[in-house]
Structure 1
C-alpha cells in the first residue's frame, strides 16, 4: 500500500482521490479546490468523479449560481468505511506504537518513503529501532514478530534497522534522515535529534 494514498488499496480510480480530499475537508469544496489537492488528475476527471459520487449518495453536491460545491455525506452508510480508509496511516502508526509499548526502546520511528509520503505500491516500509543499551538481544525476536505483523497489516515488505543505544556514537547519514523525517512510534520523539546534536558538538 501507499500510506499517502490509502484509497489506492481498493481503487486506482480518481474517485478514491476525491473521497480522500473530501474526507479531510472542514467544509464544502469546489472542483477547483479538490483539483488543487490532486494535481495529477485532470480537472474534467475530478469533476466527473464528484458528480458520479453524488449520484451514489456518498457525496453531497450543492450549487450557488454557477458554482458547485461538494462535501462527504456523513450520514451515508459508507461514510465510516471512507473515514477508516482515509485514516489508515494514522491507524498504522497507532498499531505500531501500541505494539512497541513493552519494548526497551529509547526511540523508534517509521522513516523513508513511508514517512515522507512518497511510497510506491512496491515500496518497503522502513522502521528504525534504537534499543536501550545492552538490551538488543532480548528484543530481537519481538521486533522480528512486529515486522511480520506490520507486513500483514500493509502488504509491504518491512525493513527494520536496529541500533543499540551505545552504537550511536557519531554522525550517521541514515540516523540523520530518520531524525529529520521519521514518524515516532516509541520513546521520546525528539530523543534522536537531541542525541545527534550532542554528538555533533
Structure 2
C-alpha cells in the first residue's frame, strides 16, 4: 500500500495541471472581494468575512476531483487498470494506497486557504472560523467520496472530472442559503461533519467493493 501511495504522489507532482484547480478559486475569490471593496466600500463586506471564509473552503473541496478521476478512470483510459489488478499487490491495498494519495490534497489546500484568509482577516471570530473549517472538511469528504464512485464507473478522466465538478453548483447554493445558520454556532457544523464522515465511509467501502470486483 505504501508503494502505491508513493507512486501516486510521484504522478501527481510530475503533472503541473493537477495544481491549477487549487490555485484558481482563492485567486478568483480574492479578486472579487477586492473589486467589491474598491467599488462599494468596506461597508458591504461588514459581517461577510465568515461567509467568505466558508465559501473559500467549499470552493476548494471539489478541486480534488481531477486527482480522483485520474486515479481509476485514468488507469482505465490508459488501458493499465487490468495490468494493475494483475500485480502482486492485493486489490484492497491498491485501492487504499490510491485513496490515501488523493485525500490530503483537497484537505490541506482547503485548510491552508482558510487559515491564510483568517490570518488576513482577524475580525473573524474563532467560532465562525472553526465552523468554516468544519464545513470545508465536510465538503472535502463528500466530494472526494463522490468523485471516487464516479471514477470507478466512467472510462475517461474528462468524464469523471466534469461530472464531479457539477457538485460546485449545489455547494454554492448551500453556502449561499445556509451560511447564517451554519456560522451561528458549532452544533450544525459538527452534525454536518458527522453525517459527512458517515456518508463518505459508506461510499468509500462501496467503491472498494466495486474496485475489488472489477
| Larger RCO: 1 or 2 (CA < 8 Å, sep 6+) | 2
- Structure 2-normalised TM-score? 0.30
Larger helix proportion of the pair: 2
Q: TM-score, normalised by structure 1?
A: 0.31
Larger Rg: 1
